[in-house]
Chain A
Amino acid sequence: MSGGRNTKTGVEGAAKKISGGRRFLNFLGANTVPIMFIIICAICIPISGFSPAYLINEIVTRMGRNTFLILALLIPIMAGMGLNFGMTLGAMAAEIGLIFVADWQIYGIPGMVLAMILSIPISMLLGVVCGKILNAAKGREMVASYIISFFINGIYQLIVLYMMGSIIPIKHTTVKLPRGYGIRNTVSLLNMRQKLDDLLAINVKGVKIPVATFIVIAILCIFIVWFRKTKLGQDMRAVGQDMEVARAAGINVERTRIISIVMSTVIAGFGMIIYLQNMGNLSTYSSHSQIGMFAIAALLVGGASVDKASIGNVFLGVMLFHLMFIVAPSAGAKITGDSMIGEYFRVFVSYAVITIALIMYETKKRREKSQMAELLAAEQEGEEV
């Protein structure tokens, strides 16, 4: 992730002349993905035939549901570790917490709080493991974090499917599989369903606004803003931009990177609990598997890149991505007459967005390198005149 060494060459500094037209193109280039999404949505919304009230309601619900999860991605990006596909680990930790809470029959917000507290040590442990592995796989953090999520998923299944009920006590048959061990495919969270969303909720013209959820999200945003101003936040930014320089300045690079992953994992765990309280049930073996992908896609749709992301990207991304998600199936069905097309279309778009963002990131890295040669050639011509 660290950029090339700064070579002390004379031409570097002069590269700062951009004309107005080029600036506009640069703006377009930097925001290709959001613009593309706005266009897709603009086309699909009228075709889908949904009423604005319905759409707004849906989007508000989804923002409450997903924003916290997506915010979990910001910290590793800051530390230069790319998109943290390993946020799934936090989701798994949260699910383990929720399974216990469901078994202990703790309801409502207390249940959520308890699940969060339970998830913290698990998330931290998984985060440290993940961080250590990523430190060993420097330069290919993303693909490694992606594989880690599968690997830990295997261990999660081992625990949840075989150890829970046999080694780890699970009491209730509503949670446990009939065979006596292992957790059911779905665990009902009916008793905490939308309990946070309903707290302080207000209704504006048929749009339910989950105020408490938004307050929690706001607190996290404030935390992130504050965190950037701390010593640790500064160190993470430094490590993210140039590991070697940071190391030379005495920053413990490895530790800083691990902390960033641990924080991301813990936040992702909390986010997952907020997400699942809205859903009202837990698909034990699949809820987490796609969560990372959706969060990442949404963040990228918001205009973030692999090395740069802001809170604004998160909110814009949630809105645009989920707008597409709501309207695409219906629009697809209207156009082709087959409802599955739209379903597949949005799956395709989610993956395509990530693909494009990754490609743009890699090509940008290479383009920066070739600018130097242009300057030299220009200088040569200047000399000839």
Chain B
Amino acid sequence: MEETKTLTLKDRIRGFIDSFGVPRLIIAAFLLALFILAPFVGADLPTQISNTINRFCWNGILVLAMVPMVHSGCGLNFGLPLGIISGLLGATLSIELGFTGAISFFAAIVIATPFALILGSVYGWLLNKIKGGEMMIATYVGFSSVSFMCMMWLLLPYHSPNMVWGLSGKGLRTTISLEGYYSQVLSNFLKIQIGNFSIPTGALLFFALMAFGIWAFLHTKTGTAMTAVGSNPAFARAAGINVDKIRMLSVVMSTWLGAVGILAYEQGFGFIQLYMAPFYMALPAVSAILIGGASVNKATITNVIIGTILFQGIVTMTPTVMNNVIHMDMSEVIRIIVSQGMILYALTRKSEGSKG
């Protein structure tokens, strides 16, 4: 009797590890160790936690942008730069048109929306043509569009002196300060500050709003259809669903969320980064959602939240803690290995069907 009992316990632990995934467990343990170590090596824990929360707010929506496409079976959205570009267009046009303060943030969202819809539809149409090879092509669509926009940032007739190069008077700068525009507008809204510990309530609420929107959408008829398309496209087709249309919708949603995500990122970061900056922005978002427990064709809001916290926690904690422990700042390298390793892990899982 004893033996069977221990066996079941062992099985249960094993089952838990299997369902959670070994790499995820290691990452969570690593982060936990960092938090425990932090006070001992002289890092200020409240500041660290505040930083983590802040970075969570910056990146949360970009990670959320993965969800619709994963749900509809389009795989991980390596084409996120497309959404980011829409966001950047919104941001720059909002400034160009003379909006300032908090208004400029919402104006940017509004202006970014049509771009996101158009780019998203084209992108979705393309992905429908190449079902099965989404991820690789998405990556390169992202790259092409970013490098195309590099030319556009130089050529488009922007005039706002806050954005163009001072000397030539044309062509946008690589970094544009958002001071006086929407820098920190969300974070400072209802901000709670206790000593070194601060909570950017507004930004959290904004993320919560977006996350709730997606959660609610997934509970509607169309959202249900989207999940079914991702789970088994043949089933959905047999049930009369226009698979291509649903996939297209998911791509548009992902693109739009990418646009809003980059705006939220900018408001926290305080700068607009143009040119090559969006190039690799998809990768941290992809690895964050995977760290959160998503797979190539399954993702939930919980995955987004857990993943972003874990990922950004590591990003904020490693430099300080590592520096203090071994006097080597290995945080960048650790981040690369962790995040890329996570993506690789997800890609090699056999159970996740043959989407790629």
A and B touch in the complex (CB under 8 A): yes
Complex interface: stretch among B27-35, B43-51, B232-240, B326-334: B326-334
Chain A: interface residue total (CB-CB under 8 A): 40
One digit per residue, 1 when the CB lies within 8 angstroms of any chain A CB and 0 when it does not, for chain B 331-355 equals: 0110011001101100110100011
Closest-by-CB residue of B relative to A340 is B154
One digit per residue, 1 when the CB lies within 8 angstroms of any chain A CB and 0 when it does not, for chain B 138-164 equals: 011101100110110011000000000
Q: Are A151 and B151 in contact (CB under 8 A)?
A: no
Min C-beta distance of A359 to chain B, whole Å = 6
Closest-by-CB residue of B relative to A85 is B136
Q: Are A338 and B333 in contact (CB under 8 A)?
A: no
Closest-by-CB residue of A relative to B340 is A151
Contact of A348 among B126, B131, B139, B147 (CB under 8 A): B147
- 5 interchain pairs, CB-CB under 8 A: A137-B356, A143-B356, A144-B347, A352-B147, A359-B130
B281 interface hit (Cβ, 8 Å): no
Q: Are A147 and B347 in contact (CB under 8 A)?
A: yes
Q: Are A348 and B151 in contact (CB under 8 A)?
A: yes
Residues from chain B with Cβ under 8 Å of A358 in the complex: 130, 133, 136-137, 140
Known: A142-B136, A351-B140. 7 other contacts (CB 8 A): A133-B348, A154-B341, A340-B171, A344-B151, A347-B147, A347-B150, A348-B147
Contact of A154 among B129, B136, B147, B336 (CB under 8 A): B336
B283 interface hit (Cβ, 8 Å): yes
Chain A interface residues toward B at CB < 8 A: 133, 136-137, 139-140, 142-144, 146-148, 150-151, 153-155, 157-158, 161-162, 336, 338, 340-341, 344-345, 347-348, 350-352, 354-355, 358-359, 361-363, 365-366
Q: Are A338 and B171 in contact (CB under 8 A)?
A: yes
Residues from chain A with Cβ under 8 Å of B147 in the complex: 344, 347-348, 350-352
Closest-by-CB residue of B relative to A338 is B154
Closest-by-CB residue of A relative to B338 is A154
Known: A140-B136, A150-B283, A338-B171. A155 touches B337 (CB 8 A): yes
A133 to B340, CA, bound (A): 13
Min C-beta distance of B302 to chain A, whole Å = 24
A377 to B139, CA, bound (A): 38
Which of A147, A150, A355, A361 has the most chain B CB within a 10 Å cutoff?
A147
Min C-beta distance of A101 to chain B, whole Å = 24
A380 to B346, CA, bound (A): 47
A154 to B342, CA, bound (A): 13
Known: A158-B337, A336-B155, A338-B154. A359 touches B137 (CB 8 A): yes
Residues from chain B with Cβ under 8 Å of A351 in the complex: 140, 143-144, 147
Q: Are A150 and B354 in contact (CB under 8 A)?
A: no
A359 to B354, CA, bound (A): 18
Residues from chain A with Cβ under 8 Å of B328 in the complex: 162
Contact of B348 among A137, A154, A341, A352 (CB under 8 A): A137
Closest-by-CB residue of B relative to A179 is B328
A133 to B347, CA, bound (A): 9
Min C-beta distance of B350 to chain A, whole Å = 7
Residues from chain B with Cβ under 8 Å of A347 in the complex: 147, 150
Residues from chain A with Cβ under 8 Å of B154 in the complex: 336, 338, 340-341, 344
A350 to B147, CA, bound (A): 9
A142 to B141, CA, bound (A): 15
Contact of B148 among A133, A154, A348, A365 (CB under 8 A): A348
B319 interface hit (Cβ, 8 Å): no
Residues from chain A with Cβ under 8 Å of B101 in the complex: none
A358 to B144, CA, bound (A): 13
Which of A133, A143, A348 has the most chain B CB within a 10 Å cutoff?
A143
B23 interface hit (Cβ, 8 Å): no
Which of B141, B343, B344 has the most chain A CB within a 10 Å cutoff?
B344
